[in-house]
Amino acid sequence: MSLKSRFCPKCGKETEKLIDSLCSTCYSGKPNVRVPNQKNVLQCVKCEMIYNKGFWTRPKKDIESYLIKRIRESIRLPEGETLIDVKLLELGKDAELLIRSEVGDEKLERIINGKFEIKKYCCPACSREQGIDYTAKLQLRASKDHAKFVEEALTCIREAAPKVSKVEPMLKGVDVYLVNQRLAKQAARRIKKHLEVTMRESYRNYSWDQENDRPKRRITILLKQKLRK
């Protein structure tokens, strides 16, 4: 720490203490902190286990705390600076991270942008257990806040308790493959009730039911987030 002047040479602010010849605000703005551009935690959409330290395990605390721990362990601060706290202000592909630290008795705050996500997948055990072809697909598409919309929609799907064959990440959401068409429709209605979406159904023949002498059909339900004007 340097006390060469009571004025910051960069912004001209009067201050009692300078850090590396700068005020705390200007010092915090220097690109001298190493933070990962992206970190994620994988969570199974069916059993809700997370992939942690090489294993799928039942989370013992809030899932976001696992993500914060991974980010925290990757942060590298300048010499003489101590990390106090890390907080996720926003999750997703355009996430915001608040880093609090200190140099001596001077407290610092930095806002870092990155890709910090809780990603939804179907774990290998659930995939093997199901091992059943899907008969319904829910296409969840968001116009903004993709991660938040998908999480809320998946909560509605879990409440309908269908068998989920897999969850496939897409550009603006996810495709959810389900075994039971009736429960898939129930989940779609629940999403439409709780979220602002438009819903569109379409069918496609994929095989022939020999016993009932009629085609077997898969249903695709598009649930698209409404744009607010």
pTM to 2 decimal places:
0.51
Given 119, 150, 172, which residue is the final one in a domain?
Answer: 119
CB atoms within 10 A of CB 169: 13
Does 113 share its domain with 169?
no
Angle value at C-alpha 196, between 223 and 201, nearest 5 degrees: 25
Low-confidence ranges of the chain (pLDDT < 70): 1-5, 9-10, 12, 14-16, 20-22, 24-25, 27-31, 125, 127-133, 208, 210, 229
Token readout for 177 is: 């493959």
**Nearest one of 115, 149, 123 to 50, comparing CA atoms:** 123
Please answer whether residues 86 and 99 qualify as being in contact, where contact means their C-beta atoms are separated by less than 8 angstroms.
yes
* 197 is a domain residue: yes
Does residue 14 fall inside a structural domain?
no
* Domain-embedded: residue 89: yes
Query: Does a structural domain hold residue 17?
Result: no
pLDDT per residue as tens digits for the range 147-190: 899 999 999 998 887 778 778 888 889 999 888 899 999 999 99
